[in-house]
Amino acid sequence: MSSANRNTTPVNRRRFLQDAARVAGACAVGGMALTKLATDARALPAQALRPPGALPEEHFLAACIRCGLCVRDCPYDTLKLAELGLDGAATGTPFFTARDVPCEMCEDIPCVVACPTGALDHDLTNIDDSRMGLAVLIDEEKCLNALGLRCDVCYRVCPVIDKAITLELSHNQRSGAHAIFMPVVHSDHCTGCGKCEKSCVLPGEAAIKVLPIRVATADAADHYRLGWEEDTPLVDELIDLPDRLPGPGTDNLVAPGGYLPEGMPDPSMEGGFAPSYGLPGIGGAGQ
């Protein structure tokens, strides 16, 4: 290219432009392939959980440089770097599988401290505030407690016992004489450490699983107002509805009784109300 720059005869200029177009085209194709890879890399499998404090997935891939320092400082060998073709997470990024090795929720959170870029948010200083995922009792047909037995293992191993998982009593319809101790997960306390999933006594897959927050939670129905949760009344004060007087009309709010008093707006004007049909008794076209 430098030779083309030195010599600016038309042939060389054409050659230069051709070369530039060719390499630009090749880079565009390569760039599109790379963009496809970058987009695909965001598809984190539901079973792959990020370390405590991990930024949301799309931001995480801008921040994580895949150095593995969090993996090295994890004292329980919970974290692994994803291997190409074997693990679903983006190659080289840290993750853990709750069913294999859950997070032990170290108080000093060494993985977060080790992260040089802040892909694991350094503002996370209390491990109880971490949200690696959310436990969900995903198979109530197999959960022993849901069947009316007393397994309770997920409840007992939970590091935030009685807050993140509680046992809710209900009547056992099948036996008619016993209680069901249903494990219920509460999202305001569950850190997603995965100890419940790890400890579930079922062979193979667990009945309770930690899912990524984005999978495990729904958006709140903000278009409904939950009156029992609001301290302010839904309406500020009593609405003074117009008094309806006896008279020929029934829908005529502007002219109660069917006549227009002095000073009232004409119903046909803006702000007035006129029924779309004629009213009987006032000489209209109705009936």
Near another protein by CB under 8 A, which window of 30-38, 45-53, 127-135, 266-274? 30-38
Q: Which of 11, 17, 21, 38 binds another protein (CB under 8 A)?
A: 38
Q: 45 vs 265, which CB is nearer to another protein?
A: 45
- Torsion angle, CA of 242/243/245/250, rounded to 10 degrees? 50
Closest distance of CB 114 from another protein, Å: 8
Two structure tokens written together for 235: 């309406």
- Residue 149 within binding range of another protein, rule CB under 8 A: no
Each residue 95-114 as x (binds another protein by CB under 8 A) or -, in order, gives: -------------------x
Q: 63 vs 282, which CB is nearer to another protein?
A: 63
Residues binding another protein: what is the number (CB under 8 A)?
50
Compute the half-sphere exposure of residue 17: CA atoms within 13 Å on the CB side of its CA.
6
Q: Would you say how long the chain is, in residues? A: 287
Listed in sequence order, the residues at least 6 apart from 134 whose beta carbon sits closer than 8 Å to its beta carbon are 185, 187, 190, 192, 210, 211, 212, 213, 216, 217
Two structure tokens written together for 220: 């709140």
Q: Which of 11, 17, 65, 264 binds another protein (CB under 8 A)?
A: 65
Residue 146 DSSP label: T
Q: Which of 28, 161, 253, 264 binds another protein (CB under 8 A)?
A: 28
CB 137 within 8 A of CB 127: no
- Residue 84 within binding range of another protein, rule CB under 8 A: yes
Near another protein by CB under 8 A, which window of 23-31, 146-154, 157-165, 274-282? 23-31
Residue 34 DSSP label: H
Closest distance of CB 211 from another protein, Å: 23
- Residue 35 within binding range of another protein, rule CB under 8 A: yes
- Residue 250 within binding range of another protein, rule CB under 8 A: no
Question: What values do phi and psi take at 216, rounded to 5?
Answer: -85, -15
- Residue 71 within binding range of another protein, rule CB under 8 A: yes
Residue 279 DSSP label: P
- Residue 87 within binding range of another protein, rule CB under 8 A: yes
Q: Given the rule CB under 8 A, which residues bind another protein? A: 1-2, 19, 23-24, 26-28, 30-31, 34-35, 37-39, 41-42, 55, 58-59, 61-69, 71-73, 80-87, 90-92, 114-119, 122
